[in-house]
Amino acid sequence: MSAETKIKFGCAPIAWTNDDMPELGRENTFEQCISEMALAGYTGTEIGNKYPRDPKTLKSYLEPRNLQVASAWFSSFLTTKPFEETKKAFIEHRDFLYAMGAKVIVVSEQGHSIQGQMETPVFEAKPVFTDADWDKLTKGLEELGELAHEKDMEIVYHHHMGTGVQTTAEIERLMENTSPEKVSLLFDTGHLVFSGENPIEIYQKYQSRIKHIHFKDIRETVAKEVKENQDSFLVGVKKGVFTVPGDGMIDFVPIMKTIAESGYEGWIVVEAEQDPAKANPFEYALKAKKYLNEVLPRTQLV
């Protein structure tokens, strides 16, 4: 089976308008975002804060541009709020994604998260879950997984900088204490490398549970500066710690080869939250797509 039929490439709108810092890209319209994604050669998108939430309306914009919805982020608060609050919000989110034809739901635990705090150092103040937190998280995620199954969907957990599931050890604890049938994993190259983890080792260990992929790159000098200056996650984003594949320190050839050899079928979403005033979203989306088109033949997929 060729790469084209196994793997689909999407693009995240966060390069055009940042959900955590709406002032970044405030001037960019929803129509510009999806039109430029399509022009750059992508066939999928995730959901940004300017996207219509009515499925019929959203489809009327996406279908003429040959774009599908790959997934969308969901913030869970299983460790800090009553489960029923997360459940109610999750069902609404699930039903929206189901109506849009998505197969996976991206879930990230935001209880105790510091990723949205402008002044909090992302490394020094990283939250660490207690045993009680872990118990709430793992049980809650399994329940969300069961709710996803009601629509023949899967949850994919997003390990993320500034949260309680960021490091290799934390990913391992999450995977070991949840059912593979109920909880799958999102594989994000940028967050793993920024955190200091080995992405290929993570992928190989959990490849049977990886159902969604984010490709972003890291600017090594900026990552070092963020750590040395004790910057927050958001300050790191503003400084440009993230960029698109092919523009940073990560070699995507062995990563893509590992993914291909695993038989992965699904979306790979290019995602690089940058200041669009400094990094033109269309130009970077196009740069990433050209790079990935060059990488694919070197993985002997095509």
Burial label, 116 (beta-carbon count in 10 A; 0-12, 13-18, 19+): middle
Residue 4 has what pLDDT?
A: 47
Residue 119 has what pLDDT?
A: 97
DSSP β-ladder status, 217-218 and 242-243: antiparallel
**pTM recorded for the entire structure:** 0.96
Residue 1 has what pLDDT?
A: 39
Burial label, 228 (beta-carbon count in 10 A; 0-12, 13-18, 19+): exposed
Residue 302 has what pLDDT?
A: 41
Catalogue all structural domains in the chain, each as residue range(s) with its CATH number. 3-298 (3.20.20.150)
Average pLDDT per 10 consecutive residues for the chain, totaling 302 residues:
71 92 88 98 96 97 98 98 98 98 98 97 98 98 98 98 98 98 98 98 98 98 98 97 97 95 96 93 97 83 45
Residue 240 has what pLDDT?
A: 96
DSSP β-ladder status, 210-215 and 7-11: unpaired
Of the candidates 206, 208, 178, the one whose C-alpha atom is nearest the C-alpha of residue 192 is 206
